[in-house]
């Protein structure tokens, strides 16, 4: 990617941060850019001085309605509907955007999925791309792993409410079959382990609510709007969607037959791994959610031994006995 493309990409990412109400500054955004990689796998970072120049151009050249909020210590858009008009100056710029959107579309239920696919088709029809064409895009598949059926009309209404930051009135059936009605602010929607969830607040309060979308049996717009909560988003990123307590000190012995995929997941889980003489592994997990670790160990059918914690070892042994008794 050339320098001009990089600059446009930085500006677009900066506008995205503004629209998420993350209140970026030159310093905080420069640090965040270091988390991204370019097409060659290199850090997409730059100095705070470079970002400051981008911010100045956004105001002076692009007429962006940027304002500084001293309370949040960052910039925001005084007109949230403002958009940056980005010229298509490089073929791969559009191609990569289409590719990312196409992969994301495969975990979206209809009719939102169809809207995304239609937009991709229109884009490809209007752009001359040597990277891929409309025939090739259909061969790009994403193993979405959706495990729960969602009513298309419900998801469409929820998606629009989230996008437009509008309160909804939803009817919810919990796992016990009990039905209740709730006024809800959908601050974020998330795809987690094969299911879609909406997280936000009980309307007019700071009481956090989390709803599995497949259990929403009725939904309509409540009319009122809400302000996105930056803190809720950051807390969810740090602690996870469900905010389960994490357990420290888990130590496992993993059979050599699963060593390869343990190493493949190392970048994500960042556990401490020690290879043994027989190619088996000693794995010290970072703080983890206990019930997720239990499910993982049981799924490996005896190829993982718990060395620590003793309490976890006891739970695994008890689960194993129950499995044996129910399958004898």
pLDDT at 11: 87
- In SS3 terms, 257-314 reads as HHHHHHHHCHHHHCCEEEECCCCCEEEECCCEEHHHHHHHHHHCCCCEEEEECHHHHH
Cα torsion through 59, 64, 67, 68, rounded to 10:
-60
| Phi, psi torsion values for 169, nearest 5 degrees | -110, 115
**Are 214 and 148 contacting, i.e. CB atoms less than 8 angstroms apart?**
yes
Nearest CA to 246 out of 162, 157, 309 is that of 309
Q: Which phi and psi angles does 248 have, rounded to 5°?
A: -105, 160
pLDDT at position 19 is: 82
Contact, 173 vs 215, CB < 8 A?
yes
Res 181: pLDDT: 96
pLDDT at 138: 57
Given this model, what pLDDT does residue 80 score?
Answer: 79
What per-residue confidence (pLDDT) applies to 117?
Answer: 72
In the block, which residue shows the tokens 């991204």?
A: 36
pLDDT tens track, the chain, 328 positions: 567 777 888 888 888 888 888 899 999 998 888 776 544 445 566 888 999 999 999 999 989 999 998 888 899 988 877 887 765 444 455 666 666 666 666 677 778 777 777 776 666 666 555 555 555 555 555 555 667 788 888 988 998 899 889 999 999 999 999 999 999 999 998 888 788 899 999 999 999 999 999 999 999 998 899 988 888 988 888 778 887 888 999 999 999 998 888 887 776 567 888 999 999 999 999 888 898 899 999 998 899 999 998 999 999 999 999 998 988 8
Q: What is the DSSP letter of 40?
A: T
Helix (H, G, I), strand (E, B) or coil at 220: strand
Q: Give me 104's structure tokens.
A: 């994301």
> 152-239 adopts what CATH topology?
SH3 type barrels. (2.30.30)
User: Pairing state of beta strands 216-225 and 246-247?
Assistant: unpaired
Question: Any idea which architecture 246-326 has in CATH?
Answer: 2-Layer Sandwich (3.30)
Can you give the pLDDT at residue 142? 56
Task: Tell me what pLDDT residue 203 has.
Answer: 94
Q: What is the DSSP string of 122-174?
A: HHHHHS--SS--HHHHTT--------S---HHHHHHHHHHHHHTEEEEEEEE-
Predicted pLDDT of residue 191: 84
d(CA 210, CA 200): 7
Ordered DSSP codes for 48-88: HHHHHHHHHHHHHTS---EEEETTTTEEEESSTT-------
Which conformational region is residue 252 in: left (phi greater than 0), alpha (psi within -120 to 50 degrees), or beta? beta
Residue ranges of domains in the chain: 3-77, 91-137, 152-239, 246-326
**Quick one: 194 exposed, middle or buried, by C-beta within 10 A (0-12, 13-18, 19+)?**
exposed
pTM for this prediction:
0.58
């Amino acid at each position: 990617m050339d320098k001009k493309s990089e600059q446009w990409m930085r500006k677009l990412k900066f506008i995205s941060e503004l629209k998420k109400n993350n209140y970026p500054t030159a310093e905080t955004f420069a640090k965040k850019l270091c988390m991204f990689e370019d097409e060659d796998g290199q850090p997409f970072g730059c100095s705070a001085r470079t970002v400051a120049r981008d911010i100045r151009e956004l105001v002076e050249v692009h007429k962006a309605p940027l304002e500084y909020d001293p309370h949040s210590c960052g910039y925001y858009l005084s007109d949230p509907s403002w958009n940056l008009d980005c010229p298509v100056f490089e073929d791969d710029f559009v191609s990569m955007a289409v590719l990312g959107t196409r992969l994301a579309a495969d975990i979206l239920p209809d009719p939102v999925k169809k809207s995304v696919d239609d937009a991709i088709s229109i884009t490809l029809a209007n752009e001359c791309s040597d990277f891929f064409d409309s025939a090739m895009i259909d061969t790009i598949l994403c193993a979405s792993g959706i495990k729960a059926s969602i009513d298309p009309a419900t998801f469409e209404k929820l998606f629009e409410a989230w996008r437009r930051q509008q309160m909804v009135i939803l009817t919810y059936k919990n796992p016990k079959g009990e039905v209740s009605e709730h006024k809800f602010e959908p601050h974020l929607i998330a795809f987690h382990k094969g299911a879609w969830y909406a997280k936000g607040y009980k309307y007019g309060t700071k009481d956090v609510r989390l709803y599995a979308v497949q259990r929403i049996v009725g939904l309509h717009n409540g009319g009122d709007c809400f302000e996105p909560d930056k803190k809720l988003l950051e807390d969810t990123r740090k602690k996870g969607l469900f905010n389960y307590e994490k357990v420290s000190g888990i130590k496992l012995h993993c059979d050599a037959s699963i060593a390869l995929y343990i190493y493949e997941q190392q970048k994500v889980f960042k556990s401490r791994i020690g290879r043994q003489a027989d190619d088996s592994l000693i794995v010290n997990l970072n703080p983890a959610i206990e019930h997720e670790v239990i499910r993982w160990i049981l799924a490996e059918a005896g190829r993982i031994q718990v060395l620590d914690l003793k309490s976890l070892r006891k739970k695994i042994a008890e689960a194993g006995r129950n499995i044996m008794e129910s399958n004898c």
